[in-house]
Structure 1
Amino acid sequence: MIGLETLEDPTDTWEIIETIGKGTYGKVYKVSNKKDGSQAAVKVLDTISVVDEEIEAEYSILQSLSNHRNVVKFYGMFYKADLKSGGHLWLVLELCNGGSVTELITNVLKRGECMDEALISYILYGALLGLQHLHNNRIIHRDVKGNNILLTTEGGIKLVDFGVSAKLTNARLRRNTSVGTPFWMAPEVIACEQQLDYSYDSRCDVWSLGITAIELGDGEPPLSDLHPVKALFKIPRRQGSAKQQSKRK
């Protein structure tokens, strides 16, 4: 386990400029390096007292695998102690000023247009290269979706958010824990929630990327009009129906 007391204070190096987003874990800020003026993004996690398993996993993946052009760069993990409100963990990452591809398709649709297929292809190709890098190192992302694919101002495609990613060891080349965002989850991942003898491997990320392709074309993933829990029951049935139709052909 990483000891919080061993981490540097982020305010010695980084200065917050503005808020650029927030999620269930906390907020994301644009920061500036006090020494050289370079900019980055920092994910500030809500008050914590220990580094839990998810944070450990994300830190490990970012530290070892962010050297790929399609994975967000990692600049370090810091801890800002606060006796009144509790401490905050900072994950300092590459700044992707272009936002997420979900934001991109949302803005395109607001103009009454559709995303060009060549651009969709370009985004998916970059995401695939990033996933290939993860899979070659036996990592399953487990939450591939438009919000976790970011754009840089130079046109870079970056995979982000490895909080629920999993390492496949030699002893365990498949996983049996159900995680992810419902509409993008592969049937075999959903099945792990319902039947303990089910498992899955890195191919579940390919399914999720396929759903992301639909998201980029239509603006939303399939079944998005349903409550997420209802969608979880529908997705495996749709796969079964598709297999039956394939056999008939």
Structure 2
Amino acid sequence: MGRQAGFSAGSGAGMLVSEGDPEAKYTELETIGKGGFGTVCMAVETATGEEVAIKKISLLQESSNELCVNEIQVMRHHKNGNLVNYVDSYLVDEELWLVMEYMDGGSLHDVIRETRMAEGEIAAVSRECLQGLDFLHSKQVIHRDIKSHNILLGLDGSVKLADFGLAAQLTAERSKRRSAVGTTYWMAPEIFTSKPYGPKVDIWSFGIVGMEMVEGAPPYLMKTSRTVRQLISSGGTPKLQNPRQQSAWLRDFLRCCLETDEDRRWSAQELLQHPFVTSAKPTSSLTPLIVAAQQFMADRRY
């Protein structure tokens, strides 16, 4: 019980984890992801047959404890149609099990890797992600790790932000952050130059996701992380390889996201009014794309 008490102590909201045995409540079906933190599996709630995803995080590393507390607090306190929904959390031996809704369409990263996205589809994903970011930012939360891997999809075309381990809650006393966290290729210039930063770091990161959707990968992917830091902190806005192949609206949308001056970079709320975003197709238009990506991946496996 020592670890459990210690784990909940920082929450400020009583126990962060539920009592009970999740192994009795859920039947695991398959592993759907692995990372430095642990594994993610798909399971069903035995009583209802409802599908869930269970993220199992090892608590043996001190750093992961903080990430777990962060992720649970953000997900528990901030529910929105464009954020992956929190269900419950449990301690099982030396692991935290984070139970959340299962997104049956995989990640945006899978779609980008397997297919080519049309502008209407890029705009639909952009609108949904910006709605999620606008909600988080209105609650003074910065995500700090926006990338295609952390944007999950449903086969119905739903688009949701996930993975809140690096999120930061701003307060009146602490309205900016300084710590250099995130994933290098998606990080904003003000993080690399150690300036205090706010929610607009997420907008830069989403601009890089926009470039991923257009080109299949973030800029500078083949370069070392040190070179990327130098290029982003001093080299200005990353450029599309073939800008003339894209509409003026899309190019302008990316420019508004990837403005190196944080003050001039548009907010999520402003970007939701951008003509590129307001021209988006309905999310149901994403279904054929998601199905095609899953089919390509399945074909490769067999």
TM (normalized to structure 2)? 0.71
Q: Which residue of 2 aligns with 1:40?
A: 52
| Partner SS, residue 58 of structure 1 | helix
Aligned position for 1:10: 22
The number of equivalent residue pairs is 228
Partner Cα distance (2:35, 2:122) in 1:
25
- What's 1:94 paired with? 101
Which residues in structure 2 correspond to 1:48-197 (within 5 Å)?
48=60, 52-65=65-78, 67-81=79-93, 87-108=94-115, 114-192=116-194
Tell me the residue number matched to 2:235.
Answer: 238
- Note the C-alpha offset of 1:24: 1.1
- The code of the aligned residue for 2:204 comes to W
The answer on whether the counterparts of 1:140 and 1:166 sit within 8 Å (CA) in structure 2 is yes
Match of 2:267 in 1: none
Q: What is the match of residue 218 of structure 2?
A: 221
Identity of aligned residues (%): 33
88 and 20 in structure 1: CA distance in 2 versus 1, 3 angstrom threshold: same
Unaligned residue ranges in structure 2 (runs of 5+): 1-6, 10-14, 239-258, 261-302
* Residue 149 (structure 1) shift: 0.5
Q: Once the two structures are superposed, what CA deviation does each residue of 1:44-67 show, in whole Å capped at 9, x if it has no partner? A: 1125387722211111000011x2
1:63/1:188 Cα in 2 relative to 1: closer, same or farther (>3 Å)? Answer: same
Shift of 1:239: 2.1
Question: Retained in 1: the 8 A contact 2:89–2:97?
Answer: yes
RMSD between superposed Cα atoms in Å: 2.2
Distance 1:102 1:52 in 2: 27
Q: What TM-score, normalized by structure 1, do the two folds share?
A: 0.86
* Residue-by-residue CA offset, 1:29-83 (whole Å, 9 max, x unaligned): 0011011111100101125387722211111000011x211000010111112xx
For residue 31 of structure 1, give the secondary structure of its aligned residue in structure 2.
strand
In structure 2, do the counterparts of structure 1 residues 75 and 180 end up closer, same or farther at CA, with 3 Å as the change threshold?
same
Amino acid at match of 2:158: G
